Chain A
Amino acid sequence: MTTLLATERIKLFTTRSPWWSIVAALGLTIGFAGLVALNHSEGRPLQVEHSQFGIQFGLVVVLVMAALAVTTEYRFSTIRATFQAVPNRSAVLVAKTAVVAVLAAVIGEIAAFGSWTVTRVIAGGPEMAIATGADVRMVAGVGLVYALAAVIAVAVGTLVRQSAGAISILLIWPLLVENLVQLIPGAGPHIHDWMPFVNAERFLNPPEFTTPPIGPWGSLAYLAGVAAALFAAAMVAVNRRDA
């Protein structure tokens, strides 16, 4: 497995996509935190959660990067070269997902702590201290969410195989469909509670903000469950299909 991890690491970092993803994710999240901090009103001191307003920017970049990590292999047929070198397709998918998820986690941690630091430097008061367990979750938890989002995106990319299709699904779903679901009268809010990215957001929300049915860590576990299910589907597909 270490060999395969090394292989996938080389593959990922010898193209441009992870590099611009890192720049875009960090630039957008930390830059947005700076914008928010620079414009805040003196009267209302910023809290830890205010430093994380831009965290969704990084999330969408991670979704796109992780999907591209597999769809470009199909696009340029290097997936065939890959399976020719390593016929154990399950192992390839595990290794690729692991490498992308670790990168996503690192991006998430830097984005979150970077945003927090920038906010603190620009407009920090005593409220900006990471004091409670909830504060830690809101900042350090970003890496976990990004990693699980990366697993979901790799799985969707593997199932769809096309960049345009995978990216469209991965962006339209969390940014639009999950919101619209809420509007369905009656059942809508209940369905909304079980949307994966809604749960990602709830895990990162301050405790007073929402009252999720299963608590922040339950939300994270649920997100992990969705990621695992999609990943299993991708495993089955990749083994059954012709390359």
Chain B
Amino acid sequence: MRATIGRMIEASGLTKHYGRTVAVDNLSFTVSEGRVTGFLGPNGAGKSTTMRMILGLDRPTSGDVRIDGEHYRDLRQPLRTVGALLDAKWVHPNRSARAHLSWLATSNKLPGTAVDEVLDLVGLTSVARKNAGGFSLGMSQRLGIAAALLGDPKVLLFDEPVNGLDPEGILWIRRFMHRLAEEGRTVFVSSHLLSEMSQTAQDLVVIGRGKLIYQGTVGDFIAHATENSVLVRSPELGRLAEVLSAEGAKLSQDGDGLQVSGMDSAEVGELAAAARITLHELSNHAGSLEQAFIQLTGGTVEYQAATEEGPTA
């Protein structure tokens, strides 16, 4: 069975229970061919579980997910279709990087040259004979990416690829994602950081507590989610507030000023002028991406920390 053209990953009604915990709850989404789709959600939202179900590692409690129209378990040589990096530590520490790639290659009848090619591609050729157990996180991550690229797949899955990396490593991964996208591959990459996704992804699938919150382009998500507001300061703040609220604006105190929403700065200025109110400040405030993300998923964070820092684990 072929998928509808352009839909590379299709999840419908995906649900996973672990005992009484519902990790993924009736989740449906699609990932389009040839695009980078970010899979966004707070930690514990069910991203890794979803990825494991896509790869046939965990069995959905109900629902279904297909890659290019097929269940993962029905793929004959899956590494030729889907490459994935879910956890860079899924290697035997006493096995060399080359040996790790070479058993993977053998299992999917990939030519031996593929091993050298991907080692070269991720820059691990010089340490290929070293045991993977001694690798730094950045090197392990590169080895994981090499494994994902081994079969030259058209679909790639990455779970939190930049987590824990140093800035250099993050930059490397980001560039790599762009390159994969330019090559026309479908990339599905998860993260709990919206800023990271806005740098790499074109489309977004946003989940919280296992449920779908949003699916669409990154631009739409930002426009949809961030509400602009206007900051005004004035010696006659009380009178200004009356005038603005009479015109339907929503107000909130912000220090010695007012946050006005539902109205742009031009309208606020004109209303103030008509009422002959002196303004000391009139400025536009674009809501940040992170704010929008927290606003959307705020009620759905699995382990809400007591401090303002939010979950970090």
Contacts and interface: CB of A to CB of B under 8 A. Distances in A.
Indicate, yes or no, whether A interacts with B.
Answer: yes
A44 interface: no
Contact of B52 (A72, A81, A242): A242
A4 interface: yes
A10 interface: yes
B57 A243 contact: yes
A85 B107 contact: yes
Interface stretch (A11-19, A153-161, A192-200): A11-19
Interface in B92-114: 92-96, 99-100, 102-104, 106-109
B107 A14 contact: no
B88 to A, nearest CB: 11
A81 B146 CA distance: 13
A7 B103 contact: yes
Interface residues of B, number: 33
Interface in B65-82: 72-75, 78-79
A91 B107 CA distance: 11
Contact of A85 (B86, B93, B96, B108): B108
A27 to B, nearest CB: 21
Contacts of B99: 10, 14
Contacts of B102: 10, 14
B92 A85 contact: no
A176 B190 CA distance: 51
A86 interface: yes
Contacts of A190: none
A15 B99 CA distance: 9
Contacts of B75: 87
A15 to B, nearest CB: 5
B91 interface: yes
B63 interface: no
Given A11-B103, A87-B73, A80 B109 contact: no
Contact of B90 (A11, A15, A16, A80): A80
Contacts of A78: 90-92
Contacts of B95: 11, 14-15
Nearest to B150: A85
A76 B100 CA distance: 13
Nearest to A86: B107
B91 A242 contact: no
A243 B58 contact: yes
Given A72-B92, A77-B87, A77-B90, A84 B106 contact: no
Contacts of A3: 106-107, 109
B89 interface: yes
A232 to B, nearest CB: 20
A104 B182 CA distance: 50
A186 B96 CA distance: 56
Contacts of B58: 242-243
A15 B92 contact: yes
A217 interface: no
Nearest to B102: A10
Contact of B106 (A10, A77, A81): A10
Contacts of A243: 52, 57-58
A6 interface: yes
Contact of B78 (A7, A76, A77, A85): A85
Contact of A84 (B78, B92, B103): B78
Nearest to B18: A242
B109 A10 contact: no
A80 B49 CA distance: 13
Contact of A81 (B72, B74, B93, B104): B104
A11 B105 CA distance: 12
B56 interface: yes
A119 B57 CA distance: 51
B55 interface: yes
B147 interface: yes
A76 B92 contact: yes
27 contacts: A3-B106, A3-B109, A4-B107, A6-B106, A10-B102, A10-B103, A10-B106, A11-B95, A11-B103, A15-B94, A15-B95, A77-B90, A80-B86, A80-B90, A81-B147, A83-B57, A84-B56, A84-B79, A85-B78, A85-B79, A85-B107, A86-B78, A87-B73, A87-B78, A242-B58, A243-B57, A243-B58
Interface of A: 3-4, 6-7, 10-11, 14-16, 72, 76-78, 80-88, 242-243
A-B pairs, 8 with minimum CB distance: A14-B99, A7-B107, A242-B58, A243-B57, A87-B73, A10-B103, A77-B90, A85-B107
Given A84-B56, A84-B57, A243-B52, 20 more contacts: A7-B103, A10-B102, A14-B99, A14-B102, A15-B92, A15-B95, A76-B89, A76-B91, A76-B93, A77-B87, A81-B147, A84-B79, A84-B84, A85-B78, A85-B107, A87-B56, A87-B73, A87-B74, A242-B57, A242-B58
